Structure 1
Amino acid sequence: MRAQFIDPGQMRTELALEACTETPDGLGGHEQAWSEVASVFAMIEPVSAQSVFGAGQMLETVTHRVTVRWREGVASGMRLKKAGRIFDILTVHDPDETGRYLVCRVKEARP
């Protein structure tokens, strides 16, 4: 497989990588708390936007491809955050298996 070239200069958007911690609430449920794990620079590319009418309202979904330098511990279930925008990480993969970059498929969440 040929190595994919990614211009590091395009990774100029600073994002906070966050992980969720769940703590019992004492009533059989749990509370979620998000904490910043790292600050990363990324390239964000819009992939798709979709509007569907359902349950009496418009349901909008926006997905992006976010490329970051390779780092240990990035996984689905985490999120990226930038100035009030939240990107839930759906998948993470190394596009050319060289350990240089990670490509995250994310869905923009409503705050």
Structure 2
Amino acid sequence: MSPGALRRRVTIEAPADAPDGAGGVVRGFAPLAQACAALEPVSAAEAEQGRAAGLRRLWRVTIRARGDVTGGCRLVWREKRFDVLSVRPLDADGRYEELLCEETAP
């Protein structure tokens, strides 16, 4: 992976819980960082969401290794949102990470 291949600017968001006023919490996201990334669609498969059939879109996203991006984080690119499902080192030197992400509705 060459640094020139990371041409897209994404916002990395981390889970952030806020009190809901009734003793519980509401899950939200707070910006963590911006990063240059390479995005590649992996697959699109039909998935049932409740009673409606939808299309599950998986993406492979490559970023420079950060160490603070985990499953449960979210990426935003243009008008698209991606839930990070997994993170793994991409090279033996630990310079890059590969994120498996699922595109979600905005």
TM-score scaled by structure 1?
0.85
Instruction: Tell me the matched-pair count.
Output: 106
Q: Is structure 2 residue 96 aligned with structure 1 residue 101?
A: yes
- Identity among equivalent positions (%) equals 34
Name the structure where strand makes up a greater proportion of residues: 2
- State which of 57, 66, 74 in structure 1 corresponds to 2:52: 57
Q: 1:23 aligns with which of 13, 18, 22?
A: 18
SS at match of 2:57: strand
Match of 1:3 in 2: none
TM-score, scaled to structure 2: 0.89
Q: Give per-residue Cα distances to partners, 1:78-105, cap 9 Å, x unaligned.
A: 0110122001000001023311100000
User: 2:105 is matched with which residue: 100, 105, 110?
Assistant: 110
| Match in the other structure for 1:79 | 74
Alpha-carbon RMSD: 1.6
Counterpart Cα distance in 2 of 1:77 and 1:106: 10
Name the residue aligned to 1:36.
31
Counterparts of 2:65 and 2:13, CA distance in 1 = 16
* Structure 1 stretches lacking a partner, 5+ long: 1-5
> How far is the alpha carbon of 1:26 from its aligned partner?
2.8
Deviates more, 1:19-28 or 1:34-43: 19-28
* Equivalent in 2, 13, 30 of residue 7 of structure 1: 2
User: Residue 55 of structure 1: CA displacement?
Assistant: 5.2
Q: Deviations over 1:30-76 (max 9, x none)?
A: 11232111110000011000124675422210001000011121111
Q: Which runs of 5+ in 2 are unaligned?
A: none
| Larger Cα-atom Rg | 1
